[in-house]
Amino acid sequence: MTHRRRAPATAQILPGVLLLVAGVLIAVGAPGIWAMTHQDPALQAINSGVALRLAQESNGSSTVVPGQVGQSTTTRSPVPQPATARTTPTGAPGRSAPPGSDVSRGLSGVRTTVPTAPNVRPTSTVAPRNLDVPRIGSPARLLIPAIGVDAPVEAVGVDDRGEMAIPAQVDQIGWYRFGSAPGASTGSVVMSGHVDSAQQGLGAFHDLGGLRAGDAIVVADAAGRQLRYRVIGREAFDKATVPLADLFSRRGAARLTLITCGGGFNPAELSYLDNIVVTAVPA
Amino acid sequence: MKRLLAAFGVAGLVAAGALLTAAPASAAAADTASVSVVHGIPNTPVNVFVNGKSTIADFQPLTVAGPLQLPPGSYEVTVFPAADTAGTGTPVIKASATVAAGDNVTLVAHLTADGKPTITPYVNDVSSIAAGQARLVVRHDAAAPAVDVRANGAVAFPGLVNPKEASADLAAGTISADVVLAGTSTVAIGPADLTLKEGTATFVFAVGSAADKTLGLVVQTMTGMDSAPSGVPAGTGGQSASLYSQPGWVAVMAGLGLAMAAAGLFALRSGRRRLAGN
């Protein structure tokens, strides 16, 4: 025991100090690294709640009472006549009583329309469009210079589970054709693309979460006509609670909604836990 | 959504009273009733009076008027020949209807199966429609026997009789529809192309008279019943998964670190004790 008594004190405490320091480093560092990865821009909201606010924004031309908006009528004359013998209301029957209007006026105050115009194709009676939003054809290409996206766009609907259909190719973008079209005065133009695929690797929207407020997005149709948008919001939603009704709403302010996946990954179901949503408005 | 319909004759007139019950939930916010009127009696332009006031003047056959937004209440609807603009003569049809706030109703002036003028009220199903689908509602309002309604050649609604309706939500798109005598392939009406837009309801009224060869279709569409898809499955690879979202490793590492620190502390204390002990 004599040699130990003579040993320097530092040698006695060195293993303990090393253990303590390493332990503290790991105990602090692990959550620290976690916190840093938590800074993953995709999961940090920019302008939180903007998607919902725009969906509920009233632009004076939308009514959400089902079956009472945009009603149009068509009549078809007796059989021998060709299908061109259609008539459509001369006025706008769907807007006879806007929300909040004085309905107590009774029948005398209710607008009625008797369809009389012949040989007119049926028209849907949505409110007049804003002329400051140019119309283009169906979107054919999406360009997002900030994250190097220049991808073809195809019109998609729903799959057999009722979810939005996503193009089979990871480098393509799907435009939800049942929703608003680019240039429409109201509603959400929804485009979705893969963040990645088990078979094909990274997708066109892999870096969607890196977009920042003010970044430019360009939607072009097949003829090359372009509409420009600018990013105003970026949010991550748990898929269990993602507000799809608002993100896909055909009402509310005109906007472009880009959706992909992110957050944690469930390898058993090959599915991400979150949706990353970027909201942009006409520039 | 149940409908109580009582029809009774009054002095040679056909009178129909309709009691329309509680509003569908989706329209509960509305404080008016939405009422459309379909004119399904061929060759008879009319004037429609509601509670004694001229409401639809020179209403042409095979057309749709409205929807009117009416305050809840009971309404008396009288239909006069178009020539009777003052509504002082003998009405063609007289009916009363009670509507509640939020109701969405279509009143159809049409012929019964045996050719008498009548009014039938229908409650319109404007509940939301699944993404990608459209609603098709067919109503037999013609002086004709039972029919089958076919879509793209296949029977979609069999054995429909005046004044019944049938309904289905189908994939949105264009279908070729026709009406055949029930159980046969004898075409009575059509075929006609119907464009069923996603999230909309298309109401097809078969009207007119088989005996008079005036059978035809009246079509009314209603929009705004669309709903969002149930999800956006946009990734299957997992290459982009965030570490943060698997916090298991964080807990393990933090625990390990704490254990090491505790061991270090223990070693220090025992080391010091040993030093101090000498």
Q: What is the pLDDT of residue B21?
A: 31
Q: What is the pLDDT of residue A9?
A: 67
* Nearest CB neighbour to B68, from listed A13, A21, A112: A112
**Which residue would you say has higher pLDDT here, B98 or B243?**
B98
Contact A276, A194 (CB under 8 A): no
Q: What is the pLDDT of residue A175?
A: 97
* Contact between chains at A78 and B214 (C-beta distance less than 8 A): yes
End-to-end CA distance of chain A: 82
What whole-number distance in Å separates Cα of residue B144 and Cα of residue B159? 12
> Which of B232, B256, B269, B270 best tests the A interface by mutation, with the highest count of A CBs <10 A?
B232
Q: Percent of chain A having pLDDT more than 70?
A: 67
What whole-number distance in Å separates Cα of residue A202 and Cα of residue A171? 8
**Which residue would you say has higher pLDDT here, B268 or B131?**
B131
pLDDT digits over B99-115, tens only? 999 999 999 999 999 99
Range with the lowest mean pLDDT among A52-66, A205-219, B80-94, B124-138? Answer: A52-66
pLDDT digits over A136-167, tens only? 889 999 999 999 999 999 999 999 999 999 99
Note the helical H segments in B110-172. none
Whether residue B235 has pLDDT greater than 60: yes
pLDDT digits over A116-130, tens only? 333 333 333 444 444
* Nearest CB neighbour to A37, from listed B29, B242, B272: B242
Residue A39 vs residues A101, B12, B84, B102, B235: alpha-carbon distances, Å: 49, 80, 77, 48, 21
Question: Within the 155-184 window of chain B, which residues sit less than 8 Å (CB to CB) from chain A?
Answer: 172
Q: What is the pLDDT of residue B86?
A: 87
pTM reported for the whole predicted model: 0.72
* Nearest CB neighbour to A114, from listed B60, B241, B258: B60
Tokens coding B100: 């509640």
* Contact between chains at B275 and A12 (C-beta distance less than 8 A): yes
* Nearest CB neighbour to A5, from listed B128, B226, B278: B278
- E-only strand ranges, chain B: 3-10, 13-20, 33-39, 46-50, 53-59, 64-70, 73-81, 93-99, 104-111, 117-123, 133-143, 147-151, 154-160, 165-171, 173-181, 187-196, 201-209, 216-223
Note the helical H segments in chain B. 248-277
Whether residue B27 has pLDDT greater than 70: no
Q: What is the average pLDDT score of chain A?
A: 75
What whole-number distance in Å separates Cα of residue A25 and Cα of residue A27? 6
- Residues in chain B within 8 Å Cβ distance of A192: 232, 234
* Contact between chains at B232 and A261 (C-beta distance less than 8 A): yes
- The band of A98, judged by pLDDT with boundaries at 50, 70 and 90, is very low
ipTM: 0.73
SS3 state of residue A109: helix
* Contact between chains at A23 and B221 (C-beta distance less than 8 A): no
Tokens coding A164: 């939005």
**B90: region left, alpha or beta (phi > 0 left; psi from -120 to 50 alpha):** beta
Q: What is the pLDDT of residue B104?
A: 94
Contact B241, A269 (CB under 8 A): no
Q: What is the largest CA-CA distance in chain A?
A: 120
Q: Give 3-state DSSP helix, strand, coil % of chain A, rounded to 5.
A: 25, 30, 45
Whether residue A134 has pLDDT greater than 80: no
Q: What is the pLDDT of residue A83?
A: 33
B222-B188-B62 Cα angle (round to 5): 40
- Residues in chain A within 8 Å Cβ distance of B262: 23
Chain B: closest CA distance from residue A178 (Å): 6
- CB-based contact, B33 to chain A, within 8 Å: no
Q: What is the pLDDT of residue A169?
A: 92
Q: What is the pLDDT of residue B161?
A: 96
Q: Looking at residue B177, what DSSP letter applies?
A: E
**Which residue would you say has higher pLDDT here, A133 or B82?**
B82
- Report which secondary-structure segment, H or E, holds A102: none
- Report which secondary-structure segment, H or E, holds A187: none
Whether residue A4 has pLDDT greater than 80: no
- Residues in chain B within 8 Å Cβ distance of A22: 257, 260-261, 264
- The band of B246, judged by pLDDT with boundaries at 50, 70 and 90, is low
Q: What is the pLDDT of residue A7?
A: 57
Range with the lowest mean pLDDT among A4-13, A190-199, A208-217, A261-270? Answer: A4-13
| Over residues A61-75, mean pLDDT | 45
Q: What is the pLDDT of residue A92?
A: 36
| Over residues A93-108, mean pLDDT | 32
Chain B: closest CA distance from residue A24 (Å): 6
Whether residue A107 has pLDDT greater than 50: no
Whether residue A39 has pLDDT greater than 80: no
Q: What is the pLDDT of residue B97?
A: 86
B60-94 burial, b at 16+ Cβ within 10 Å, e below that, comes to: bbbbbbbbbbbbbeebebbbbeeebeebeeebbbb
Question: Within the 189-208 window of chain B, which residues sit less than 8 Å (CB to CB) from chain A?
Answer: 189-190, 192-193, 198-199, 201, 208
| Over residues B172-193, mean pLDDT | 93
Whether residue A254 has pLDDT greater than 80: yes
Q: Percent of chain B having pLDDT more than 70?
A: 84
> Which of B242, B243, B273 best tests the A interface by mutation, with the highest count of A CBs <10 A?
B242
| Over residues B109-135, mean pLDDT | 95
Per-position DSSP letters for A60-82, written without gaps between them: SS---STTTEEEEEEEE--TTS-
- Residues in chain B within 8 Å Cβ distance of A93: 64-67
Contact B71, B39 (CB under 8 A): no
Q: Please choose, from the candidates B177, B217, B165, B225, the residue with its C-alpha nearest in 3D space to the C-alpha of residue B201.
A: B225
Q: Percent of chain B having pLDDT more than 90?
A: 65
**Which residue would you say has higher pLDDT here, B242 or B16?**
B242
> Which of A2, A52, A56, A103 best tests the B interface by mutation, with the highest count of B CBs <10 A?
A103
